[in-house]
Amino acid sequence: MTPTPQQAIYRILDANLDRAREGLRIIEEWCRFGLNDAQLTQDCKALRQELGQWHSPELRAARNTPSDPGTALTHPQEETRADIQDLLHANLSRVQEALRVLEEYAKLYQTEMAAACKQMRYRVYTLESNLSGDDDLRQRLEAAALYLVTAPSQQLFAIVEAALQGGLKLVQYREKDADDQIRLAQAQKLRDLCHQYGALFILNDRIDLALAVNADGVHLGQQDAPIAVARALLGPGRIIGRSTHNPGEMERAIAEGADYIGVGPVYETPTKPGRTAVGLDYVRHAARNCPIPWYAIGSIDLETLGDVIQAGARRVAVVRAIMQAQDPLVTTQHLTTYLERMYGR
């Protein structure tokens, strides 16, 4: 017998509450017994308990396992796991997918449940980031061809989210003039946005704020703290970048242990007033000699990108090209598509 729409919705909610809680329990067991990490274990347990509070008797009563066609479905990829990271990734994805289903269908059941599941989904993204490990952060950095460095804007969050929706995977929050309370609040919101979309979040200059918001890393200028100091404070896992303007600064940054460098400004830019442009020669030098990821930066946009790529850049950082774009989403798509087409990412 075909269920009524209400019965179907109840069954969907019931099944996905079970799916999310099962996935969380698998992750929780590794946090507890594999990592001996009390905080991560507690995070998983709290999420499971919150989901359990929404698993009402009326949803459980709608369950009809014998007539569920999905119980017989399987896939070869579900039958084996390559390693613990593969197992964790599969179950994190399972939880995220289930929470997304719960968020949508709960809008037809209880809007409070939908809002709660949305927030839990964001927390699972953070959990995934905390479990990803050092190598994963650096692999994601390696794969990120486009880097947005923010500038102050009344539409800061809307612009960044549009760029993330356009495929951006690396964001640096740069704010030189606001007081620390504003910077802290903005950095926290941007970090949550980035992790929601699976992007890395880097904080400009401020190691203390990077720690406060659990950023993925920090970007340091030539006059900022030494890389060794940043590493001691941030630990081995987080990413540290350094601005460089000539081959000597590049060599020092590499020797000091930077995870990536900025190369520029390639062209004169109001973002760095008084800083002489380094031109394409330094880009060519980096292309020949830099063994770590590097980002050409400085007035790079859709018009100048071709020349910068021709000089050897495989990754670029932009500010105004996205922050002042009429349509940041489309501009991001165009920039990433150009880079992907050139280098097959």
Is 243 in the active site?
Answer: yes
pLDDT tens digits, one per residue of 248-261:
999 999 989 899 99
Residue 73 — very low, low, confident or very high, per pLDDT cuts 50/70/90? very low
Read off the pLDDT of each residue in 286-302 and give the average, rounded to a whole number. 96
Mean pLDDT of the chain: 90
Query: What's the predicted TM-score (pTM) here?
Result: 0.65
Domain residue ranges of the chain, discontinuous segments joined by +: 5-134, 144-343
- Rounded Cα gap, residues 306 and 163, in angstroms: 20
The Cα-based distances of 134 to 28, 59, 139, 237, 322 in angstroms read 20, 41, 9, 5, 29
Given 11, 48, 272, 315, which residue is catalytic? 272
Is 272 in the active site?
Answer: yes
Given 169, 238, 242, 243, which residue is catalytic? 243
pLDDT tens digits, one per residue of 97-118:
999 999 999 999 999 999 999 9
Is 174 in the active site?
Answer: yes
- Rounded Cα gap, residues 61 and 52, in angstroms: 15
Which helix (H) or strand (E) covers residue 243, if one does?
strand 239-244
Read off the pLDDT of each residue in 4-26 and give the average, rounded to a whole number. 95
Given 32, 100, 174, 189, which residue is catalytic? 174
39 or 305: whose pLDDT is higher? 305
Identify the pLDDT of residue 66: 62
Q: Hey, which bits of 169-213 come out as E strands?
A: 170-173, 200-204
Task: Provide CATH code, domain 144-343.
Answer: 3.20.20.70
- Token output for 157: 């969050």
